Structure 1
Amino acid sequence: MPFKEHIYSVLLVSASESLNSSLLALLPTKDYSPVDIVKSISLAQQKISERAYDLVIINTPLPDDFGRKFAIDVCSNKSTVVVILVKGDIYDETYSKVLEHGVLTLRKPTSAAAINLSLDWMRSIRERLRKLEKKTLSLEDKMAEIRIVNRAKWALIEACNMTEADAHRYIEKQAMDRCVTRREIAEGILQTYK
């Protein structure tokens, strides 16, 4: 099955005009759009509250905050992939504090090759998170169906004096005979026996 190409939304949090220009050159619109640039953590927080981003790149330090807590918050609350760029002398300390939260760390100064490699890793991680999101939604749907079917079984048990096994068989047979889901049958039963 071929990989479906995605276009990744990017939030660049950086007060450095030169780095912003360099990064924009590495983010072609065919792969990355929109690319929003903000120059402070407070503006980044506002952007994150307005929309979800696939990738967040934080160039530390920023005028109003270093950026480490923001990076951790974004990683823990969303399926966004975050990389934080830090100076070499504080790389190890920063890395050890953000590692367990899933924040990627890149040492400054860096090169275009290192940034491109980081972007590849970020996209790969984002695709993995996308698959996990789909599985989670699928599991939530299945759990919701089980809850509705169980409520319908109890409605049949109370209203029709069926056993649980009989109620289960009834729902299964109705779903098969009508070529619909068990959920649809269960919802009909719940409507009938309100």
Structure 2
Amino acid sequence: MVDSVLLVSNTSSTMQIISGLFVSQPISRIVPAQSCTEARRSLLESEFDLVIIDTPLPDEFGDDFALHAAESSGSGVVILVDGIRLEDFGCIFEDSGIFALPKPVSPEVFLQAVKLLIASRRQVQRVEAENRKLLQKIEELRMVSRAKCVLIQTLKMTEAQAHRYIEKQSMDLRLTRTAVAENVLRTYER
């Protein structure tokens, strides 16, 4: 489920309660922080699967840090806010992908929110990985197209001949089409 958690709270009782909820989960580390400054430092030093913020904190309320954590890391962020203040921050948190829970929160609701957050985080990671693959494929197609154009212009090949040349070189030399295209561009492009 979760491998690492940054737990930001200025009360030791809250830290103990939340840490206790994760006892049955296979978490390798829970890093406590008692202020936003300390939490920012921890976030710079290490990656976390989950950031839990119990507001208010001694150096700031905690909402700015929650937004910072959501924007600058791949961590899932849960913020615990007094029920009255929750409405004030609701839209801001929702737009940033932060799960805001009212205090006090039952252990069942808290764990369910964490599970939902982790599931949505995994889905986002899958989509991001697919995007990276697609961007890499687009870059490969651009490179190969540029190499074909260079072959057409310099060696007076047809488009089909240029395509065949790149494919054949790729198979014969056991290189990717991108590597062959890079070689063509280095050789013929001025």
- Give the TM-score normalised by structure 1: 0.85
1:14-53 equivalence runs, <5 A? 14-28=9-23, 31-53=26-48
Mapped to 1, the partners of 2:24 and 2:124 lie a distance apart of: 22
Give the deviation of 1:86 after TM superposition: 0.3
Residue of structure 2 aligned with 1:145, choices 136, 140, 145: 140
1:26-175 equivalence runs, <5 A? 26-28=21-23, 31-175=26-170
Structure 2 equivalent of residue 3 of structure 1: none
Confirm or deny: 8 A CA contact 1:79 1:129 kept in the other structure: no
Deviations along 1:52-94, whole A, 9 cap, x unmatched?
A: 2211111101111111122122222332211110011111112
Structure 1 residue runs of 4+, over 6 Å off?
A: none
Is there any run of 5+ residues in structure 1 with no aligned partner, and where? 1-5
- Say how many residue pairs are matched: 189
Mapped to 2, the partners of 1:74 and 1:165 lie a distance apart of: 51
Q: Does 1:10 align with 2:1?
A: no
Residue of structure 2 aligned with 1:182, choices 168, 177, 181: 177
Mapped to 1, the partners of 2:116 and 2:9 lie a distance apart of: 20
Give the deviation of 1:140 after TM superposition: 2.5
Mapped to 2, the partners of 1:109 and 1:24 lie a distance apart of: 16
Mapped to 2, the partners of 1:77 and 1:91 lie a distance apart of: 23
> Which amino acid in structure 2 is aligned with residue 80 of structure 1?
S
Mapped to 1, the partners of 2:159 and 2:40 lie a distance apart of: 51
Confirm or deny: 8 A CA contact 1:152 1:190 kept in the other structure: yes
Specify whether residues 136 and 191 from structure 1 end up closer, same or farther in structure 2 by C-alpha distance, changes over 3 A only: same
DSSP-derived class of the 1:32 partner: coil
Give the deviation of 1:99 after TM superposition: 1.2
Mapped to 2, the partners of 1:80 and 1:170 lie a distance apart of: 46
DSSP-derived class of the 2:81 partner: strand
- Give the TM-score normalised by structure 2: 0.86
> Which range is displaced more, 53-62 or 183-192?
183-192
Confirm or deny: 8 A CA contact 1:84 1:103 kept in the other structure: yes
Deviations along 1:161-188, whole A, 9 cap, x unmatched?
A: 2244432232234435666532232233
Deviations along 1:137-175, whole A, 9 cap, x unmatched?
A: 212221221232133223323431224443223223443
Is there any run of 5+ residues in structure 2 with no aligned partner, and where? none
> Which amino acid in structure 2 is aligned with residue 118 of structure 1?
A
Confirm or deny: 8 A CA contact 2:2 2:50 kept in the other structure: no
Identity %: 37
